[in-house]
Amino acid sequence: MWNVLLSFSGLLALIQLFFLPFFPESPPYLLLQKGDKAGCLKAMKQLWGEGNYHTEFDDMMKEKAVTKGTKIMNVLEVLKEPSVYPQLSTMLLLLLSLQFCGLKIFQTANLQESIIPYVSLGVAISELVSIIFCSSIIDHFGRRILLWGGYLLMALILVLLETSLLLSDQFLWMRYCSVVLIFLFLIAYGIGP
């Protein structure tokens, strides 16, 4: 019954995809990244209702003043910074542990047992690539577009994955389509949600 569980997560992604356009951008993002004070206050009112948010707004303005002289680092500069090594090692440990995930899907796709560890390693590499790619483009596109696009792609990929798994007994090449779709799903998840 794992395919029902997989379909359930796709349903939740569709629900989130439907409601996402109705939510405003994050107030800190609007103020700190975009420099939009009016949009920040409007988003605060929309998210938290009517009220006085000058304390929160002042805190964000202080944060903006503190980070004004700070250079925004790219991915390679972050990797060279020793202060982030504990966080990076935790992330890498998590990504390496994810190579054990998806084993059931790969077995259901009737892949040879000798290929499954390499496919699992490919899953971890796909997630690492998507995280690096997302951190490179998030400032350009913004969180909202990446979330919306990521959920849309995930929903489409889940439908195609379910179809390919159902047809994998009839067509041998569908097994490999399932693996490719899993890679694409992980990349869409890493770039979006």
How far apart are the C-alpha atoms of 111 and 177, rounded to whole Å? 11
CA distance 20 to 23: 6
Q: Kindly state the DSSP code that residue 183 receives in the 8-state scheme.
A: H
Q: What is the pLDDT of residues 134-183, one digit of tens each?
A: 777 777 777 778 888 888 888 898 889 888 878 877 887 887 788 788 88
Q: What is the pLDDT of residues 89-148, one digit of tens each?
A: 877 776 565 555 555 666 666 667 777 677 777 777 777 777 777 777 777 777 778 888
User: Predicted confidence band at 192 (pLDDT cuts at 50, 70, 90)?
Assistant: confident
Closest by CA to 130, choosing from 190, 51, 59, is: 190
Instruction: Please check whether residue 7 is in contact with residue 162, taking contact to mean a CB–CB distance below 8 angstroms.
Output: yes
Q: Which amino acid is located at 8 in the chain?
A: F
**Which residues, 6+ apart, have CB-to-CB distance to 177 below 8 Å?**
160, 164
- Residue identified by tokens 């998030």 is 138
- Residue extents of the structural domains in the chain: 1-71, 76-191
Please say if the pLDDT value at position 85 is more than 70. Answer: yes
pLDDT at 109: 61
